[in-house]
């Protein structure tokens, strides 16, 4: 497939799968990460790495292992970014590098508050990083040497929104989209001035994430596909457009990118555009 076709397929909701990481991920590094037994503690939910500031979060053990993990996460983040810039060349130079994470805990049977549960079908939205209509692209690798990572996926965003967005209360967010406040924020943003406030799009996506997890009819009634990612599998997916639930598996590495609306190759599939069509007015 050509790069542009890959971008289009991803934006339409495909999951692109590699049997092995298509970028350097040394065996030593993988073994070091999965050998950190103390990570069984519930305190260490995820390790996150912020490439922009070169900061590692969520880890506290000996300085020595922390330094090594920091170095592994930095190299991993750079390797994935290099790969994505080449493989998805239409995004090169435009993608925003977001956080990377290491997810050491078994997903099955985790005792988490409802909105944080990974085993309920949802689309991603970040409370701390509004995308203003940009899309969330994630690259995952299952670094478990023996265990599959099991996902469920649901109908893609255009159908999902058609079936559930109005029920979830989209109408209110549509009205906010044409408020004076939202229009002013759009003007400021267009003039490249900093706008701290979330757009009505960001607010709806956060709300929808929670609403989907709360909705037992959606969780039990909707059609789902089970996907098994074997050890070392690597997959790319827009997690704002593909409803997903992680049922089981441990030891996943992940790097997130934000693809701004102007870089998209199939913008009509972008959640912001799907929702704006339902609203008949701008949301971001
Ligand atoms: Fe998610």
CATH numbers and ranges of domains, the chain: 3-279 (2.60.120)
Q: Tell me the residue length of the chain.
A: 284
Q: Which residues surround ligand 1, an ion (CB under 5 A)?
A: 124
Ligand 1 center to 124 CA (angstroms): 5
Q: Using an 8 Å Cβ cutoff, are 149 and 248 in contact?
A: yes
**224-282 residue pLDDT tens:** 999 999 999 999 999 999 999 999 999 999 999 999 999 999 999 999 999 999 999 99
Statement: residue 163 has pLDDT above 50: yes
Statement: residue 40 has pLDDT above 70: no
SS (H, E, C) 67-85: HHHHHHHHHHHHHHHHHHH
Statement: residue 44 has pLDDT above 80: no
Ligand 1 center to 276 CA (angstroms): 23
Instruction: Compute the chain's Rg from CA coordinates.
Output: 19
Ligand 1 center to 157 CA (angstroms): 14
Taking residue 110's Cβ as centre, other Cβ atoms within 10 Å add up to 14
Is the Cα dihedral 96, 15, 77, 47 positive or negative? positive
Statement: residue 38 has pLDDT above 70: no
Ligand 1 center to 94 CA (angstroms): 23
Ligand 1 center to 180 CA (angstroms): 33
* Separation between Cα atoms, residue 59 and residue 65, nearest integer Å: 9
């Amino acid at each position: 497939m050509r790069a542009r076709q890959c971008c289009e397929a991803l934006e339409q909701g495909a999951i692109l799968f590699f049997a092995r990481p298509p970028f350097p991920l040394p065996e030593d590094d993988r073994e070091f990460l999965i050998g950190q037994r103390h990570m069984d503690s519930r305190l260490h939910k995820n390790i996150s790495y912020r490439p922009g500031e070169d900061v590692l979060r969520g880890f506290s053990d000996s300085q020595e292992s922390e330094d090594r993990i920091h170095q592994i996460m930095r190299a991993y983040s750079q390797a994935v970014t290099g790969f994505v810039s080449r493989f998805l060349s239409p995004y090169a130079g435009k993608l925003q590098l977001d956080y990377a994470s290491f997810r050491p805990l078994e997903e099955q049977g985790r005792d988490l508050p409802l909105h944080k549960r990974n085993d309920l079908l949802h689309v991603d939205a970040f409370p701390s990083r509004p995308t203003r209509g940009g899309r969330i692209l994630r690259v995952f690798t299952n670094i478990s040497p023996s265990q599959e990572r099991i996902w469920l996926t649901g109908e893609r965003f255009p159908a999902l929104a058609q079936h559930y967005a109005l029920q979830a209360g989209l109408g209110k967010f549509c009205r906010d989209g044409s408020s004076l406040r939202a229009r002013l924020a759009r003007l400021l943003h267009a003039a490249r001035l900093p706008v701290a406030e979330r757009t009505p799009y960001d607010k709806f996506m956060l709300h929808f994430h929670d609403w989907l997890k709360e909705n037992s009819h959606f969780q039990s009634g909707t059609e789902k596909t089970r996907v098994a990612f074997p050890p070392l599998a690597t997959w790319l997916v827009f997690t704002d457009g593909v409803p997903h639930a992680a049922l089981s598996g441990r030891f996943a590495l992940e790097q997130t990118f934000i693809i701004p609306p102007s870089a998209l190759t199939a913008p009509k599939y972008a959640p912001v555009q799907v929702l704006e069509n339902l609203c008949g007015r701008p949301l971001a």
